[in-house]
């Protein structure tokens, strides 16, 4: 049964709906991460490994590990029953009509909710390239995979986000402007462009009349002093009465609450 994320975030700040373990590109075990979350006073804590994908990726969980993942989360959830709700989810990559949160493969999984995100962007030849992660790799892809066309990459990224929302099947929208992290290093003025802000407005317009919760992702706050979506866009979401969840996107047990307090305080200051 899908958990009502809106009810949870109205009830408490002691939640985190986005975390990765050794089942994908996380660095610690589910048991260790859950222990840190419980010690931090979390009431709801979700595991969201990067979903299996039909393309090569070292960051995503292979299909053959899915059963083991469900078993381990269920085991750990039993350990914290009555103290902390341990939720089962996936961070599901959208790769087009044939692969995304909307397909039967994910809709038939016994998930507490579905987190939808975009990491891969198809180039001009239709080849999906991972635009997340290290800037050095992104810069190489930009030059050799996208013919140096940064605007194409950014617009195609947001097109993927919008189409994922239209296809449906998600309860939580992950870091919807994450492309800005690498794009702004390639062009520090890109987020100041009118066409870029129009892309942000498109996402807000698409999500405001749905039941989808939008994530403020705090993973990059400690190292880069930024959130996803960027803080400058939060008022647009609040004015549109979009429900916002604050998630750490933890890849280490020590990071389960990283940046959340700062984001929550800043969101409250806008109201």
| Under 8 Å between Cβ of 91 and 49 | yes
CB contact at 8 A, 79 and 33: no
Kindly state the average pLDDT of the residues 137-153. 97
Q: Output the pLDDT for position 271.
A: 63
Which tokens in the block code for residue 251? Answer: 């890849």
Task: Say what the pLDDT of residue 247 is.
Answer: 98
Task: Specify which residues 245 forms β-bridges with.
Answer: 215
- 169 has pLDDT over 90: yes
CA distance 204 to 214: 9
Residue position matching structure tokens 């405001």: 208
pLDDT band at 25 (very low <50, low <70, confident <90, very high): confident
Contact 106, 114 (CB under 8 A): yes
Q: Residue 146: which pLDDT band, with cuts at 50, 70 and 90? A: very high
pLDDT at 26: 80
For residue 244, report the phi and psi dihedrals to the nearest 5 degrees.
-120, 130
Asked if 114 contacts 170 with a C-beta cutoff of 8 angstroms, the reply is yes
The pLDDT score that the predictor gives to residue 234 is 98
266 contacts 248 by C-beta, under 8 angstroms? no
Name the helix (H) or strand (E) containing 117: strand 115-117
0.85 cut: is pTM over it? yes
What pLDDT score was predicted for residue 113? 97
Q: In this predicted model, which residue has the larger pLDDT, 209 or 220?
A: 220
pLDDT in tens, 95-134: 999 999 999 999 999 999 999 999 999 999 999 999 998 9
For 209, phi then psi, to 5°, come to -100, 20
Q: Which two tokens stand for residue 249?
A: 């996107």
Would the pLDDT of 92 be above 90? yes
| Model pLDDT for residues 178-207, shown as the tens digit of each residue | 999 999 999 999 999 999 999 999 999 999
Exposure of 102 in the CB half-sphere (CA atoms within 13 A): 13
User: What is the predicted pLDDT for the residue at 2?
Assistant: 64
pLDDT of residue 59: 87
Residue 229: exposure state from Cβ atoms within 10 A (0-12, 13-18, ≥19) = buried
Assign 58 a pLDDT band (cuts: 50, 70, 90). confident
């Amino acid at each position: 049964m899908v958990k009502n994320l809106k009810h949870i975030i109205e009830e408490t700040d002691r939640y985190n709906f986005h975390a990765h373990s050794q089942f994908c590109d996380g660095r610690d075990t589910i048991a260790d991460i859950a222990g840190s979350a419980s010690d931090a006073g979390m009431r709801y804590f979700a595991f969201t490994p990067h979903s299996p994908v039909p393309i090569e990726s070292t960051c995503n969980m292979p299909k053959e590990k899915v059963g083991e993942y469900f078993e381990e989360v269920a085991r750990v959830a039993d350990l914290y029953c009555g103290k902390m709700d341990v939720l089962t989810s996936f961070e599901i990559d959208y790769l087009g009509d044939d692969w995304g949160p909307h397909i039967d493969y994910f809709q038939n999984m016994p998930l507490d909710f579905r987190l939808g995100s975009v990491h891969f962007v198809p180039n001009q030849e239709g080849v999906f390239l991972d635009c997340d992660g290290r800037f050095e790799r992104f810069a190489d892809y930009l030059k050799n995979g996208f013919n140096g066309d940064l605007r194409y990459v950014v617009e195609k990224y947001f097109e993927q986000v919008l189409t994922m929302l239209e296809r449906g099947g998600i309860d939580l929208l992950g870091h919807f402007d994450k492309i800005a992290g690498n794009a702004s290093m390639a062009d520090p003025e890109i987020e100041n462009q009118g066409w870029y802000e129009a892309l942000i407005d498109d996402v807000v317009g698409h999500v405001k009349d749905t039941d989808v919760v939008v994530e403020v992702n705090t993973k990059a706050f400690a190292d880069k002093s930024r959130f996803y979506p960027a803080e400058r866009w939060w008022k647009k979401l609040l004015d549109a009465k979009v429900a916002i969840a604050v998630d750490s996107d933890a890849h280490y047990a020590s990071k389960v609450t990283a940046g959340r307090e700062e984001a929550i305080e800043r969101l409250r200051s806008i109201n």
